[in-house]
Chain A
Amino acid sequence: MAILQHLEELRLGLPAVEIVAYMDLRSGTVLGKSVAGDEPQERLDALCALAGDVLGGDAGETDEAVMMRSTEALVLRRAPGAPAEALCLVCAPDVDISQVMEGARRALDAAA
């Protein structure tokens, strides 16, 4: 899980990103995180549950997802070679989605 060493770097490199979390979808736990401010654990747990639901756990057919609403955007990406793990980035609603998706992909590929 070399990616855990780079969560802070990933968040700071993408200004619109407020939370970067690395998750175990199977157990529903947050393995590591970088957060801009204070973030209650319940919020991170809820994000983990949502990521597992949308990506379909470690047996799902979805490898990447983007969710948007008026208040925020979410980028989820399954880790290559570790299908039960995923990266979750919580962003401002006006974020450049393509840039964040590319950033998540590069970070996971580099850590693989």
Chain B
Amino acid sequence: MASSGIAGVGGRMIRAGGPGALLPRILSEIDETLLPRQVTLAAGNDRSVVLSVTNGRVLRVNAVDGVADPEGLTGETLEPGDAQAMASLKALFEDLAGDEDQVLVRQETVIDDLDAAQAGLSAESLAKAWETSFVPADLSEGEELAGAAIDTFLQATQDVVTAWLMTGPETSESEGAGPADAVDELTAFAEARRETGEASKHITDAKDEPWSFLVLRRGAEAADVTVIVAVDGILLYLSVGQEHLGKVADAWRTAVPA
């Protein structure tokens, strides 16, 4: 799944298919971070880890809160191939994730010393050391176009979208942004549609049923409508005030030209 790179209110939520499946999602997040960023991973009970990341590599653990601080890890520049550091980082992320299947990700632009292209621990080396795998950021041209269209669409609508959730029709993996209750509601709705097989029904960009923009108003008095858009197998669920629907529709027509 292409990452949108858009940070909504409070950051983006990345979700795994279930407890214990977060490490690959965190590695994907690291792998897809190419420009210098301070990345904060936050979980429940005020647990958080702040990393310096660039070029798909973790350069440093800047701070931890609510999780055990492995000795000698925080504040030190991580060296490639440092097995002890890789093991400590894994323990840190596992402690952060706990039994949860989601973490909030916030990214801040960093303009200081994160220019060491080959320093730090790459997501690939961490995956190998941890004997896990993740979907690398080496996107196909089609996926890049889909990701660009979604980015353009989300940027154009960020002032009017209450919350959004990006997922696929056959996966429980997702990421989203907005107030937690609104994201949770979209997640439950997406999962219900996936379980009943309706996730890819009508709303798909496949040639036989090319509806790619679907609005559903659920309940006569609902203030927000649910918008579902599809591009290249990615489904984007949005909660939008009905008064903003025209702007959202125009943004979609602009981002995804016929």
List the interface of chain A (C-beta within 8 A of B). 50, 53-54, 61-71, 80, 93-94, 96-99, 101
A69 touching B217 by the CB < 8 A rule? Answer: no
CA A94 to CA B220, docked complex, whole Å: 26
In contact, A68 and B219 (Cβ under 8 angstroms): no
**Residues of chain B whose beta carbon lies under 8 Å from any beta carbon of chain A:** 201-203, 210-220, 225, 242-243, 245-246, 249, 252-253, 258
Given A50-B202, A53-B202, A65 contacting B249 (CB threshold 8 A): no
Identify which of A63, A65, A99 contacts B220 (C-beta below 8 A). A63
Q: Is the CB of A68 within 8 A of B249?
A: yes
Query: In the complex, what residues of B have CB within 8 A of residue A67's CB?
Result: 202-203, 211, 213-215
Q: Smallest distance from the beta carbon of B16 to chain A beta carbons, Å? A: 29
Q: Is A66 a contact of B258 with CB atoms below 8 Å?
A: no
Taking a contact as CB atoms under 8 Å apart, the answer to whether B214 and A66 are in contact is yes
A80-B220, A96-B246, A98-B246 known; A66 vs B215 contact (CB < 8 Å): yes
How far in angstroms is the closest Cβ of chain A from B146? Answer: 16
Residues of the B chain whose Cβ atoms lie less than 8 Å from the Cβ of A61? 218-219
Q: Which residue on A lies nearest to B227, using beta carbons?
A: A66
By a CB distance below 8 angstroms, the chain B residues around A65 are 214-217
User: B215 to chain A: which residues have CB within 8 Å?
Assistant: 64-67, 97
Given contacts A67-B202, A69-B212, A70-B258, contact A62 B246 (CB under 8 A): no
A53 — which chain B residues lie within 8 A by C-beta? 201-202
The interface residues of chain A lying within 8 Å CB-to-CB of B245 are 66, 97-98, 101
Chain B residues within an 8 Å CB radius of A93: 253, 258
| Given A67-B215, A93-B253: 6 more A-B contacts, CB < 8 Å | A54-B202, A61-B219, A64-B225, A68-B249, A69-B212, A94-B253
Kindly provide the distance from the CB of B157 to the nearest chain A CB, expressed in whole angstroms: 14
CA distance A96 to B246 in the complex (A): 7
Contacts of B243 in A (CB 8 A): 98
A111 to chain B, nearest CB (A): 16
| Of A50, A63, A66, A101, the contact of B218 (CB 8 Å cutoff) | A63
**With a CB–CB cut-off of 8 A, which chain B residues contact A69?**
210-213
Q: Complex: how many Å from CA A96 to CA B249?
A: 9
> What CA separation (Å) do A94 and B214 show in the bound complex?
15
Given the complex of chains A and B, what is the CA–CA distance between A64 and B214 in angstroms?
Answer: 10
CA distance A62 to B13 in the complex (A): 27
